[in-house]
Amino acid sequence: MPSKGQELKKLINAPEIVITPGVYDGFTARLIERAGFRTATISGAGTSESRLGWADRGIMGLEENLANARRIADCTDLLLQADADTGYGNALNVYFVVKAFEKAGMAAVMIEDQVWPKRCGHMAGKSVIPAEEMVQKIKAAVDARTDSSFVIKARTDAATPLGLDEAIRRLEMYAEAGADCVFADALSSKADIEKVARSVKKPLSVNMGLGIRARKTTPLIPPKDLEKLGVAQISYPRLLSAASLKGMMNALEVFKSDVVESNKAVDRPDLSVTFEELNDLMGMKVLDELERRYTGG
């Protein structure tokens, strides 16, 4: 039976582009799996925002991130790709971080070359560590994995502060150091994406900003168009977090105006799922079957 890493590598290296929506909890993981996707990216930003209530500015540490990833892996068969930020230290720290995420049931882990505390890739004010330091982190990540097919994804944020050519140079160095997949964040044009894809030796991942409207850095490009440019994998990290937050804001607005302020008994099925839909998504049938098997209930 192939390992999770082997399955993911096969997908990433296939001719067809891989679409990986972002997840950050049990709700989102189960929704993505039910929708038929095989792999998903655990959004570091979504985890920080939903679990800690703080923006993606390096507030979240390893333990919070790892515990969340482990919980998601426990409730889904998705091939999960974790976001380990900068590796929470130097190459020595990265070695143990990679071991921890592999043990947690991930198929891949991503390490980025930002200075700590890092920022969300689409925020202003980013800076990066020397490329040579990041190379050592990638080498440590490669050495740390137990399964040689566990996917090491190397990300650079150099395009914005240092330019596209430097981002490409870095990705080539990271690929040479052993990264299985590379990721250039916040590319500013279709031409830039194509140039990076044609320049690097390893499969390229990019993010699309569906769910981010305030600050646009990377243009929205359809998946098949990205495939033609040479992109291997595309992630939509903000899709569900932005949509769920908007849904909660809409429901809360109705609740406050109609229930709290107007003292009405309001039923708005358009703003929420049913109790049955919720339980079905969250595995109630499995729990019922286990109860019948072990208790005769």
| Whether 211 and 291 share a structural domain | no
Question: pLDDT tens for residues 210-220?
Answer: 765 545 678 89
Regarding whether 130 and 255 lie in a shared domain, the answer is: no
Same domain, 284 and 223: no
Q: Find where tokens 């019948």 sit.
A: 292
Task: Tell me the pLDDT of the chain averaged across its residues.
Answer: 94
Q: What's 121's domain CATH number? A: 3.20.20.60
pLDDT of residue 226: 97
Give the H/E segment covering residue 277. helix 275-281
- The whole-number pLDDT of residue 213 equals 53
pTM of the model: 0.94
* The pLDDT of residue 297: 65
138 plus 271 within the same structural domain:
no
Q: What pLDDT score does 196 carry?
A: 97
- Confidence category of residue 96, pLDDT binned at 50, 70, 90: very high
Q: Is the pLDDT of residue 238 over 80?
A: yes
Instruction: With beta carbons less than 8 A apart as the criterion, state whether 182 and 202 touch.
Output: yes
Which parts of 1-61 fold into alpha helices (H)?
4-12, 26-34, 44-47
* Calpha distance 130→86 (Å, rounded): 13
Residues 230, 253, single domain; the answer is no
Q: How confident is the model at residue 117 (pLDDT cuts 50, 70, 90)?
A: confident
Residue (of 52, 71, 112, 54) closest to 88 by Cα position: 112
| 277 token code pair | 């839909």
Could you tell me if 9 and 123 lie in one domain? yes
The reported pLDDT for the residue numbered 155 is: 98
252 & 188 share domain:
no
pLDDT at 266: 87
**Do 228 and 250 belong to one domain?**
no
Q: How confident is the model at residue 284, as a pLDDT?
A: 97
| pLDDT-derived band at 163, boundaries 50, 70, 90 | very high
DSSP 127-195: -B--HHHHHHHHHHHHHH-SSTTSEEEEEE--HHHH-HHHHHHHHHHHHHTT-SEEEE-S--SHHHHHH
Structural domain of 230 = 4-239
The predicted pLDDT at position 47 comes to 97
Domain end residue (candidates: 239, 259, 285): 239
Helices (H) and strands (E) in the chain, counts: 13, 8
Q: Is the pLDDT at 81 greater than 60, yes or no?
A: yes
Total domains present in the chain? 2
Pair (156, 284) in one structural domain: no
Same domain, 161 and 251: no
The pair of structure tokens assigned to 14 is 């296939």
pLDDT of amino acid 119: 81
Q: pLDDT by residue (tens digit) across 20-78?
A: 999 999 999 999 999 999 999 999 999 999 999 999 999 999 999 999 999 999 999 99
Shared domain for 69 and 208, answered yes or no, is yes
Residues 190 and 272 in one domain: no
* Six-digit token string for 211: 């769910």
Q: How far apart, in whole angstroms, are the C-alpha atoms of residue 67 and residue 55?
A: 18
pLDDT at 214: 45
Calculate mean pLDDT across residues 242-249: 95
> What pLDDT shows up at residue 150?
98
